[in-house]
Amino acid sequence: MDASSVKPQVTGFYDTPSGSIQYVVADPQTRRCAIIDPVLDFDEKSGATATKNADAVLAFIGESGLEIEWILDTHPHADHFSAAHYLSERTGAPTAIGEKVVDVQKLWKVIYNWPDFPADGSQWDRLFADGESFSVGNIPARVLFSPGHTLASVTYVVGDAAFVHDTLFMPDSGTARADFPGGSAARLWRSIQDILALPDETRLFVGHDYQAEGREPLWESTVAEQKSKNIHVAACRTGADFVALREARDRTLPMPRLILHALQVNMNGGRLPEPESNGRRYLKFPLDCL
């Protein structure tokens, strides 16, 4: 079977506070599906957590008569909490992420001074290697290692659909930043080239959309559209051009407002901190580390 000719059903769920898109990708024949990059609600002003986003995804899956086969994260996110652990507890479906998550864990356990933290990826049921194959129902899928934005970022290619996380945004918004700990604009450029080597008609689904010039949220493009219209890719003839553009842009950006909140949760597979003796959970903030 030519995987690129198989068309899964893809449904996106937009989270306005973080500009994130969560996906359900389904095989219409077997009614089996995967959830990609689910969001656990968090309000940093009050410290309140909720499962509104995740429950909406579960409601859609139930109403559609789908069965969850995978709960997938593309990388440990810096701007929202992952709902992977919550969804796995609710459904029993296995969680997975790219195997290089252990490098992110090793880096951030030092930043958080968390010496007992198990930086071995054991928080997920499966760690995918670059090029590893799996399936969603009967639809062939594979993992494309796509670092640059983070050390661990992967793209999931499911049939003719590629979930490119924060490597590429919509063409009018360019590309993802590469200035987080472990990020690299040069490596991001190479990852982008790997994604754009997919067939031109491949559907690309982005991890975020920030509604350029106030337009409605968008999250689907194609390889051909990204090649010709992406404001960062089309403007750069060489990798060196891209690195100069990306690094100059990154120097103007503040850190994401939830990066220190989110990484300690997401490097732990979406698990919130364990309750302390009073029954409350607490986040830990390293000062002056970024």
pLDDT at 164: 97
Instruction: Give the residue-averaged pLDDT of 189-208.
Output: 97
Asked whether residue 210 is domain-assigned, the answer is yes
pLDDT band at 148; cut points 50, 70, 90: very high
Asked whether residue 2 is domain-assigned, the answer is no
Distance of alpha carbon 109 from alpha carbon 107, whole angstroms: 6
Q: For the chain, first and last CA: distance in Å?
A: 47
Instruction: Give the residue-averaged pLDDT of 5-13.
Output: 94
pLDDT at 5: 78
pLDDT band at 134; cut points 50, 70, 90: very high
Domains: count for the chain: 1
pLDDT band at 290; cut points 50, 70, 90: confident
Range of the domain at 245: 7-256
Asked whether residue 105 is domain-assigned, the answer is yes
- Please answer whether residues 157 and 165 qualify as being in contact, where contact means their C-beta atoms are separated by less than 8 angstroms: no
Distance of alpha carbon 156 from alpha carbon 132, whole angstroms: 10
Q: Whole-number mean pLDDT of the chain?
A: 96
pLDDT at 163: 98
Question: Could you give the dihedral angle defined by the CA atoms of residues 219, 225, 226 and 231, in that order, rounded to the nearest 10 degrees?
Answer: -100
CATH of the domain at 115: 3.60.15.10
Asked whether residue 45 is domain-assigned, the answer is yes
Asked whether residue 76 is domain-assigned, the answer is yes
Instruction: Give the residue-averaged pLDDT of 203-219.
Output: 95
Instruction: Give the residue-averaged pLDDT of 1-25.
Output: 91
Q: pLDDT tens-digit profile of 40-87?
A: 999 999 999 999 999 999 999 999 999 999 999 999 999 999 999 999
Q: pLDDT tens-digit profile of 240-289?
A: 999 999 999 999 999 999 999 999 999 999 999 999 999 999 999 999 98
Asked whether residue 85 is domain-assigned, the answer is yes
Q: What separation in angstroms does the CA of 185 have from each of 112, 191, 204, 283?
A: 25, 10, 20, 30
Output the pTM of the full model: 0.96
Instruction: Give the residue-averaged pLDDT of 226-238.
Output: 95
Q: At what angle do helices 84-91 and 52-63 cross, to 10 degrees?
A: 40
Instruction: Give the residue-averaged pLDDT of 128-150.
Output: 97
- Please answer whether residues 207 and 166 qualify as being in contact, where contact means their C-beta atoms are separated by less than 8 angstroms: yes
Asked whether residue 90 is domain-assigned, the answer is yes
Asked whether residue 164 is domain-assigned, the answer is yes
Q: Is the dihedral of CA 263, 266, 270, 274 positive or negative?
A: negative
pLDDT at 1: 58
